[in-house]
Amino acid sequence: DGGADCVAGRVAELARQRDGCRMVQQALEEATDDLSREALAFELRGQVPELVLCLYGNFVLQKSIVTIRPQAAQFIIDELLAMGHQEVTKAAKHKFACRVLQRLFEYCRPTQTAAMVQILLADAVALCKHRYGNYVMQHVLEHGTESWRREFAKILERKLGAVGTDVNGGAVLGKAFAYATHEDQVSLATGLVSEPGLLVKVARTRYGHGAVKIALQLLSGSGFADAQQQLLAEADSLRLTRYGRSVLGCLESLATCGEAGRGPTRG
């Protein structure tokens, strides 16, 4: 039985145990009102820096964020920020803590997570390329404000070569093409074409090739012609990978239909 009565007063202790963490999560789900649910979550106060790195505790923090009201989760944000900038960045790179940060971006208000975003953007390139950090940065784009997206897009424009050719960074770049403003999408697309060899390199990667396909749809006129020339010049090598073949198929379709520049947009 994982009801609130069974775990009350022992939440922090149980959160660190395999079976106990399941009991606490169940109690949070089954609590009948916000106040009783938050009473359980508040037992985690002062424990966040440890639990965020804990194999079991991270699940309890995630469940708390998902089930309690956004303002009630503020203590989790506050305790993370109190760890300092360097530790917040480390948390984004940690295999358990990164999940907690993702839930915060999903369920809390931008006004609550703004300070954390600024810390992450200060180390955006390294986080984009990190095996766990990239998921946190994707969440910044997906759940962020337009101003965050614009700031992030400007960072990506300056570091397209470093981020776009990286296996993890390509996934973040794809998210930027999905969530940035139309103006920033076009700037990113233009950047891919203007840096020698970059478009073809990104087109060969698992996640980056999707960004290239969106870029092709956004480009028009000389920009599209330049991209077409670069890709066709490397067509033989691109055909050796399924990602490259996918990009060439997209290019052929756009060239045939004359639809360059009429791609997906947001903002």
- Residues 51, 57 contacting (CB under 8 angstroms): yes
State the DSSP code for 130: S
Does residue 108 lie within any of the structural domains?
yes
In this predicted structure, what is the pLDDT of residue 258? 74
Does 117 share its domain with 173? no
CB atoms within 10 A of CB 50: 14
Does 37 share its domain with 87? yes
Rounded CA-CA distance 86/88 in Å is 6
Does residue 92 lie within any of the structural domains?
yes
Among residues 94, 122, 150, the one where a domain terminates is 122
Does residue 236 lie within any of the structural domains?
yes
User: What does the mean pLDDT of the chain come to?
Assistant: 95
| Nearest residue to 151 (alpha-carbon basis) of 179, 131, 174, 132 | 179
Q: What is the pLDDT of residues 47-64, one digit of tens each?
A: 999 999 999 999 999 999
DSSP string, 133-197: HHHHHHHHHHHS-HHHHHHHHHHHHHTHHHHHTSTTHHHHHHHHHHHSBHHHHHHHHHHHHHSTT
* Residue 242 exposure: Cα atoms within 13 Å on the Cβ side: 2
State the DSSP code for 266: B
Does residue 260 lie within any of the structural domains?
yes
In this predicted structure, what is the pLDDT of residue 151? 98
Does 171 share its domain with 81? no
Q: What is the pLDDT of residues 110-165, one digit of tens each?
A: 999 999 999 999 999 999 999 999 999 999 999 999 999 999 999 999 999 999 99
Does residue 152 lie within any of the structural domains?
no
State the DSSP code for 24: H
Does 187 share its domain with 96? no
Using the predicted structure, report yes or no on whether residue 267 has a pLDDT greater than 60: no
Give the mean pLDDT of 65-85. 99
One-letter amino acid identity for 263? G
SS3 state of residue 202: helix
Does 19 share its domain with 110? yes
Rounded CA-CA distance 56/17 in Å is 6
Radius of gyration of the chain (CA): 22
pLDDT category of residue 66 using cuts at 50, 70 and 90:
very high
Using the predicted structure, report yes or no on whether residue 262 has a pLDDT greater than 80: no
The answer for residues whose C-beta is within 8 angstroms of residue 170's C-beta and 6 or more apart is: 163, 164, 202, 205, 206, 207, 208, 209, 211
Does residue 136 lie within any of the structural domains?
no
State the DSSP code for 197: T
Among residues 122, 145, 170, the one where a domain terminates is 122
Using the predicted structure, report yes or no on whether residue 260 has a pLDDT greater than 50: no
Does 190 share its domain with 252? yes
Rounded CA-CA distance 31/121 in Å is 37
Rounded CA-CA distance 110/70 in Å is 10
The number of folded domains in the chain is 2
Does residue 146 lie within any of the structural domains?
no
Q: What is the pLDDT of residues 8-58, one digit of tens each?
A: 999 999 999 999 999 999 999 999 999 999 999 999 999 999 999 999 999
Among residues 122, 151, 168, the one where a domain terminates is 122
Using the predicted structure, report yes or no on whether residue 264 has a pLDDT greater than 80: no
Does residue 140 lie within any of the structural domains?
no
Domain assignment of residue 201, given as a range: 160-267
Q: What is the pLDDT of residues 232-251, one digit of tens each?
A: 999 999 999 999 999 999 99
H helix count then E strand count, the chain: 21, 0
